Structure 1
Amino acid sequence: MPLGDIDKIAQDTGFSGVVRIDHAGEIEFEKAYGLANRAYGVPNTVDTRFGIASGGKGFTALTVLSLIREGALALDTTARSLLGDDLPLIADDVTVEHLLTHTSGIGDYLDEEGDWQVDDYAIGAVHALTTTEAFLPLLDGHPTKFKAGERFGYCNGGYVVLALLAERATGQGYHDLVRDRVLRPADLTRTDFLRSDELPADVAVGYLEGLDRSNVFHLPVLATGDGGIHTTAGDMSKFWRALFAGDHAEEVTRPRHDVPEESLRYGLGFWLHETTDTVILAGYDAGESFKSTHDPHTGTTITVLSNTSPGAWPIARALMS
């Protein structure tokens, strides 16, 4: 599409966020729209940080793979071997690989296959969720949905369990594991885990659809393995370049499952285009929407970040179809 059409879509939809397109490291388009903070009239800039919801699952997957390379975990490590008596409804044969590929079949605390709506108050005491261990009561009590390995079934809780397994295998907190193994090696200086109740001035407040109300009561106060890290469009471009310059790209982008209901495929923590080699991270939550794609053949990265639930999708569809 002509790049000038981005402005028209942004105007027609009231888009609030940032769009960036770069090719082989050269920026072709980069522009910010709307407000990062409506109460104070603070505009978004191209350097504004946004929560990316489930886009963070890619960071979790890369952290786990780095631990596998070091021998602290293996793809066939069972969750039970590290959970002990915790989360007894998780089947004994569920492995790290099942969790990475959404084929574990475990019950999900935030089940997107049900009647979940993005702006629901779905979690409860969000202020208490400051550590991965604090998620244990939330993860507990959900019956198995299907046998491990039987099929693909997108599972947020599975990625929280992955974060928990990584912590127990290393004795180090999940947030520091991601910082040490993904953020610092890729020089992602504008990407981090931020408390929603004390956001820095350069971070966009997330707003519920059609309201000037923030998402502070809707999401964990501090994100963990299933997503919610904050980043910029520029850091996402750096992220993709680092991924494909490193050792994990082939493994995480090898298709493990077709997901026909989404017209996509899935690797390890990353969505894959149905027919091409384009790799995708995407996220959707209360006050957050995000999609970033990378074509490893052309080196083209397209990133759309928004601080509203539906905001990213019209431009993302137009640019990434």
Structure 2
Amino acid sequence: MELQEAVDEAVDRTGFSGVVRVDRAGTTELAAAYGLADRAHRIPHSLDTQLGIASGTKSLTALTVMGLVERGALALDTTARSLLGDDLPLVADDVAIGHLLAHRSGIGDYLEEDAIESISDYVMPVPVHQLATTEQYLSVLDGHATVFRAGERFAYNNGGYVLLALLAERSSGTDFHRLVRELVCEPAGMVDSAFLRSDELPGRAALGYLERDGLRTNVLHLPVVGSGDGGLYSTAADLSAFWDSLFAGRIVSPDLVAEMVRPHSDWPEESERYGLGFHLHATSDAVWLEGADAGVSFVSLHQPSAALTWTVLSNWSSGAWPITSLLHARLSS
């Protein structure tokens, strides 16, 4: 069965809604949009629909921070405390930028994913409209006790990436969303990627739905504007451009890219490894962005040795996973 036929069959079987793209050696082998970006108004997805990437944002946060490292505004051994002052007193004094990037900081997390039965049931601890700027996230980052000593081990941590966004702002004097745009999106040619307000989405942005069917969206489940751990909207074309630009050294230098995609931790629970802001295959050179949240599921993978890139963006909570499993099975080497 040809790849397009196999994807079409999986879409029909699972109710996938979103965009799928596969590129190999500079040629787009598959680019297809399925389902509805707006169910109530029956607006279909198109190839240039902007969809949320949830925790896929963390990789862009990591690159923003490394861009500031490259410019001398931060260093991997810069401590969080040196920029926090009296804020977030439970963050240990020895927690540094490098620990946060590698999920080895040991700080308490505002969003413990392992404790959540269903991401579609999770609600923020403060009204979501109060989370529009990174500084406003201080209210949800505060009050979480240290879990382990910095550097001791790996533990995936959402709050750590919001803290990185805050530290990037404070070290540069520039709004985090602007930093991502100027240091990552613009050099990568990601012209349709941005942090969008969930309560005023533009016409090409997809609404995020909690279930395969129904009209209930994620607008009450996520911050009105994301920060370092999630909330960016992007397109399949932008993500293809991202990988090309990353490994060409147009975002940060090749030496810094190599450091970011070098394994810094094993993650046996997920059968993978982790770098600085990037998921890494357990044995191959495949590297990827991944996001899962209420109304969002997403993977974008690049394997340099195979000159292969593929992206799956979906606008409901579990929509992307059957298609990503298919692409892993058909394309992994």
Work out which of the residue numbers 169, 173, 176 in structure 2 matches 1:174: 176
One-letter amino acid matched to 1:221: V
Structure 1 unaligned segments of length 5 or more: list them.
none
Secondary structure of residue in 1 paired with 2:188: coil
One-letter amino acid matched to 2:284: T
* 8 Å Cα contact 1:110/1:122 also seen in 2: no
Q: C-alpha distance in 2, partners of 1:103/1:245?
A: 28
Aligned-residue RMSD, C-alpha = 1.0
Offset, 1:2: 3.4
Secondary structure of residue in 2 paired with 1:154: coil
Is 1:295 equivalent to 2:265 in the alignment?
A: no
Secondary structure of residue in 1 paired with 2:319: coil
Residue-by-residue CA offset, 1:21-55 (whole Å, 9 max, x unaligned):
01122110011100000010000011101000000
Residue-by-residue CA offset, 1:185-210 (whole Å, 9 max, x unaligned):
11110111100000000011000024
Residue-by-residue CA offset, 1:120-166 (whole Å, 9 max, x unaligned):
24213111111000000110001111111111100000000000000
2:121 paired residue number = 120
Q: C-alpha distance in 2, partners of 1:215/1:237?
A: 26
1:32 paired residue number = 33
Q: C-alpha distance in 2, partners of 1:33/1:190?
A: 19
TM-score (normalizing by structure 2): 0.95
1:217 paired residue number = 220
Q: C-alpha distance in 2, partners of 1:65/1:285?
A: 25
* 8 Å Cα contact 2:116/2:122 also seen in 1: no
One-letter amino acid matched to 1:228: G
2:293 paired residue number = 285
TM-score (normalizing by structure 1): 0.98
Offset, 1:117: 2.3
Secondary structure of residue in 1 paired with 2:41: coil
One-letter amino acid matched to 2:204: D
Residue-by-residue CA offset, 1:198-254 (whole Å, 9 max, x unaligned):
000001100002432010000011110001200001110000000000013212101
Q: C-alpha distance in 2, partners of 1:121/1:67?
A: 33
* 8 Å Cα contact 2:193/2:235 also seen in 1: yes
* 8 Å Cα contact 1:107/1:142 also seen in 2: yes
1:195 paired residue number = 197
2:20 paired residue number = 19
1:64 paired residue number = 65
Offset, 1:257: 0.5
Q: C-alpha distance in 2, partners of 1:107/1:286?
A: 22
- CA shift in 2, pair 1:96/1:116, >3 Å: farther
One-letter amino acid matched to 2:237: G
1:76 paired residue number = 77
2:236 paired residue number = 233
* 8 Å Cα contact 2:177/2:195 also seen in 1: yes
One-letter amino acid matched to 1:26: T
Structure 2 unaligned segments of length 5 or more: list them.
none
Aligned residues: 321
Q: C-alpha distance in 1, partners of 2:261/2:239?
A: 17
Q: C-alpha distance in 2, partners of 1:91/1:263?
A: 30
1:2 paired residue number = 2
2:276 paired residue number = 268
Work out which of the residue numbers 316, 326, 333 in structure 2 matches 1:318: 326
Q: C-alpha distance in 1, partners of 2:116/2:239?
A: 31
Q: C-alpha distance in 1, partners of 2:123/2:79?
A: 29
Q: C-alpha distance in 2, partners of 1:2/1:281?
A: 26
Offset, 1:116: 4.9
| Structure 1 segment 133-172 matched on structure 2, within 5 A | 133-172=135-174
Of 49-58 and 203-212, the range deviating more from structure 2: 203-212
* 8 Å Cα contact 1:253/1:279 also seen in 2: yes
Q: C-alpha distance in 1, partners of 2:131/2:117?
A: 20
* 8 Å Cα contact 2:123/2:220 also seen in 1: no
